[in-house]
Chains A and B, each alone.
Chain A
């Protein structure tokens, strides 16, 4: 690895961390799409800033662009408050219009400015190490490294200083207001941090892919834990992992670094989405199948309890009467046998003592809906745990 490669990976990792922190709160506050809106609508701010400063790294440009981000949030909230359209429509209207204004401003002045819409949207991390910051004649590193490092420092400081406030206002706005932390102040604080991070990161990884770095690590982490600190930690880990592995993917494919990082984020999310222990799709589907089986079992046991006639309790009758498929009937029968709920003699099914008690308890529970009746049944069945 040469120097430039190491610097790119450091920048990418810093961007990932800086995005993951506000991203976690955006996901928890159900405002993920706001980050998408901000990332588009900062374009006119960037263009105006660029007209004035002619430098993509100037603080004024950063400020103007971040300010446009805040304006977007305010506009969306204003439109929403008028009650003319719903929040999602408000978001969907504001950012394309602001973005269009930015595109047109660039197009009308194409001869004067070296600013490409593609560059703003997609960024070019590969060039980041070549734009050096010279301080008192010495080269102290790439400009974007300092920029994103500074933003990250501020974000982390704010996070540590206001962690309690952020946590309370995210999960219980009313409580936070009654304790004296203004939820509105926290809200706009978070929006400001998100805007500044988006602006700081756009040059490196592009405005749209900032959205991926904000949402995907946080969403993946949210599927694995419900503890805020763990979620933040996991999101940062996922972000950094995708940043570094994405860089190498781009290196081998000779393709866009930002695109590769996003693809890695996508793979991470897909893995978590499928295999997360309790909230992953496979776990959920398994649980649903289990529950379906248990409901069938209960139906079956109730049926047995209600009928003393031999023909009603014949194995084949089960399928005709309750209209089950062969496989399902068999798995229900097996489950019941495994739990010693029934005994089968000459293809005639009858309840055992255990089955009798279980069924009576279950009926009691269904009628009264009192939890303490089923404490000892919980271990055997998923159904009664929820």
Chain B
């Protein structure tokens, strides 16, 4: 694979920009619990592409994308209409619009394919996307949209953030929540439409979600999350392009999605504060500490009945007690709570004090 190849460079830059803008806007979708909106919008864009082609007869991707944008927005607002005007829930509304628009789009696509003008080839690339068809003009368009998006994000940062975490408060402060809401949703639709050519209708939602879901695991700050999501998205784009270019028969879209998926899995497992691995380690440590305390408390119970607290007892005495293992004994000895000589143990003064205060000094939290 020749990485200095012009076409390759164009595609790599294109997918990187796409990943970045999707990551940025996806963060908002994920945090607003609108993750599946992306899926619905991308499917809803399909009839727009077909109708734009039917009207203009042009294959110019900008016109087709404009059609996609309009149809995506129509879908989005219909979803809102269904949720606010009827008692149908959001999942039903999303599923409805997604499948109905997609089906209608398929009807139009097959209708177009049977038309006599041979100009129609290439419409089905929007189903699964073909990064290979990206031209430098498309990349420019992506760049412009991303810049605009970045500009709006910075301009309305405070409002977006406020709306995200406390929409009622935003309203009481006098912000036009409807406007902010429509603004951010429109940009999400725009990002999705941009990605259709590269990643395709079916997989576009993952492009939006995966970088954001991965970024969420590493931080609790919105700014950092948006930034990280953009980085993850861009890297998914570039890696996906490299991998698919180095192999035959690999379309770029699915590979990018899988790379993004790997980012997510890695973040789920290895994130220090939320990750499953460290959570499990913390869990095990807590359990061990608890067992240690349990054993110590049991020993304390025995030692209490003797005048000399350091009176030695045989280890066998502990055998029926669950929390005890050789390891816990050793650990207790290391902490200087007990002394072990042969098959006998005895509490030290320190161990006695710790044990007596075990359950009434929770705030001390020495273990």
Question: Can you identify 12 A-B contacts, CB atoms within 8 angstroms?
Answer: A32-B92, A84-B274, A85-B216, A88-B36, A92-B205, A97-B258, A101-B258, A104-B254, A259-B108, A263-B100, A281-B81, A285-B85
Tell whether A223 is near chain B: CB-to-CB under 8 Å. Answer: yes
Q: A31-B91, A208-B43 are in contact. List 13 more A-B contacts (CB 8 A).
A: A27-B92, A30-B89, A35-B95, A36-B99, A88-B33, A89-B35, A91-B36, A93-B210, A96-B203, A97-B206, A101-B254, A117-B128, A216-B99
Tell whether B257 is near chain A: CB-to-CB under 8 Å. Answer: yes
Tell whether B268 is near chain A: CB-to-CB under 8 Å. Answer: yes
Binary A-proximity of B96-130 (CB < 8 A = 1, otherwise 0): 10111111111111110010000000001001100
Binary A-proximity of B193-210 (CB < 8 A = 1, otherwise 0): 000000000110110111
Binary A-proximity of B51-66 (CB < 8 A = 1, otherwise 0): 0000000000000000
A279 to B87, CA, bound (A): 8
| Selected contact of B98 from candidates A89, A108, A211, A253, CB within 8 Å | A211
A223 to B203, CA, bound (A): 31
Are B94 and A32 in contact, with the CB atoms below 8 A?
yes
Tell whether A313 is near chain B: CB-to-CB under 8 Å. Answer: no
- Nearest CB on B from A217, distance (A): 10
Q: A84-B217, A263-B103 are in contact. Are A255 and B91 (CB under 8 A)?
A: no
Query: Chain A residues with Cβ under 8 A from B202's Cβ?
Result: 40, 96, 99, 121, 208
Q: A91-B36, A216-B96 are in contact. Are A82 and B276 (CB under 8 A)?
A: yes
Query: Chain A residues with Cβ under 8 A from B257's Cβ?
Result: 96-97, 100
Tell whether B250 is near chain A: CB-to-CB under 8 Å. Answer: yes
A216 to B94, CA, bound (A): 11
Q: Is the interface of B mostly helix, strand, loop or mixed?
A: helix
Most B CB atoms within 10 A — which of A79, A91, A263, A265?
A: A263
Tell whether B302 is near chain A: CB-to-CB under 8 Å. Answer: no
Closest residue of chain B to A226 (Cβ to Cβ) is B87
Most A CB atoms within 10 A — which of B34, B36, B39, B103?
A: B103
Q: A97-B257, A103-B254 are in contact. Are A262 and B103 (CB under 8 A)?
A: yes
Closest residue of chain B to A262 (Cβ to Cβ) is B103
Tell whether A247 is near chain B: CB-to-CB under 8 Å. Answer: no
B residues at A contact (CB < 8 Å): 30, 33-36, 38-39, 43, 81-82, 85-89, 91-92, 94-96, 98-111, 114, 124, 127-128, 202-203, 205-206, 208-210, 213, 216-217, 249-251, 253-255, 257-258, 261, 264, 268, 274, 276
Are B217 and A108 in contact, with the CB atoms below 8 A?
no
Query: Chain B residues with Cβ under 8 A from A255's Cβ?
Result: 107-108, 110-111, 114
Query: Chain A residues with Cβ under 8 A from B85's Cβ?
Result: 281, 284-285
- Nearest CB on B from A333, distance (A): 29
Query: Chain B residues with Cβ under 8 A from A304's Cβ?
Result: none
Are A260 and B107 in contact, with the CB atoms below 8 A?
yes
Within 8 A of B (CB), among A50-91: 79, 82, 84-86, 88-89, 91
A333 to B88, CA, bound (A): 36
Are B209 and A107 in contact, with the CB atoms below 8 A?
no
Query: Chain B residues with Cβ under 8 A from A92's Cβ?
Result: 35-36, 38-39, 205-206, 208-209
Query: Chain A residues with Cβ under 8 A from B127's Cβ?
Result: 118, 121
Are B203 and A212 in contact, with the CB atoms below 8 A?
no
Tell whether A222 is near chain B: CB-to-CB under 8 Å. Answer: yes
Q: A215-B92, A223-B86 are in contact. Are A209 and B103 (CB under 8 A)?
A: yes
Tell whether A199 is near chain B: CB-to-CB under 8 Å. Answer: no
A33 to B39, CA, bound (A): 10
A79 to B274, CA, bound (A): 13
Most B CB atoms within 10 A — which of A85, A91, A260?
A: A85
Tell whether A322 is near chain B: CB-to-CB under 8 Å. Answer: no
A222 to B89, CA, bound (A): 11
- Nearest CB on A from B47, distance (A): 9
Q: A91-B35, A93-B209, A100-B257 are in contact. Are A256 and B110 (CB under 8 A)?
A: yes
- Nearest CB on B from A113, distance (A): 12
Closest residue of chain B to A27 (Cβ to Cβ) is B92
A200 to B200, CA, bound (A): 26
A312 to B29, CA, bound (A): 52
Are A215 and B99 in contact, with the CB atoms below 8 A?
yes
| Selected contact of A212 from candidates B99, B206, B251, CB within 8 Å | B99
Tell whether A219 is near chain B: CB-to-CB under 8 Å. Answer: yes
Tell whether A273 is near chain B: CB-to-CB under 8 Å. Answer: yes
Q: A96-B206, A107-B251, A110-B249 are in contact. Are A211 and B261 (CB under 8 A)?
A: no
Query: Chain A residues with Cβ under 8 A from B114's Cβ?
Result: 254-255
A207 to B115, CA, bound (A): 26
| Selected contact of B110 from candidates A86, A117, A259, CB within 8 Å | A259
A266 to B86, CA, bound (A): 16
Q: A91-B35, A97-B258, A209-B103 are in contact. Are A118 and B124 (CB under 8 A)?
A: yes
- Nearest CB on A from B192, distance (A): 12
Within 8 A of B (CB), among A205-246: 208-209, 211-212, 214-216, 218-219, 222-223
Are A93 and B261 in contact, with the CB atoms below 8 A?
yes
Are B35 and A262 in contact, with the CB atoms below 8 A?
no
Are B104 and A262 in contact, with the CB atoms below 8 A?
yes
Are A209 and B99 in contact, with the CB atoms below 8 A?
yes
The 4 closest A-B pairs by CB, nearest first: A262-B103, A259-B107, A96-B206, A212-B99
Are A36 and B95 in contact, with the CB atoms below 8 A?
yes
A33 to B107, CA, bound (A): 22
Are A262 and B107 in contact, with the CB atoms below 8 A?
yes
| Selected contact of B104 from candidates A30, A31, A93, A263, CB within 8 Å | A263
Query: Chain A residues with Cβ under 8 A from B205's Cβ?
Result: 92, 96
A99 to B261, CA, bound (A): 12
Query: Chain B residues with Cβ under 8 A from A211's Cβ?
Result: 95, 98-99
Are A215 and B213 in contact, with the CB atoms below 8 A?
no
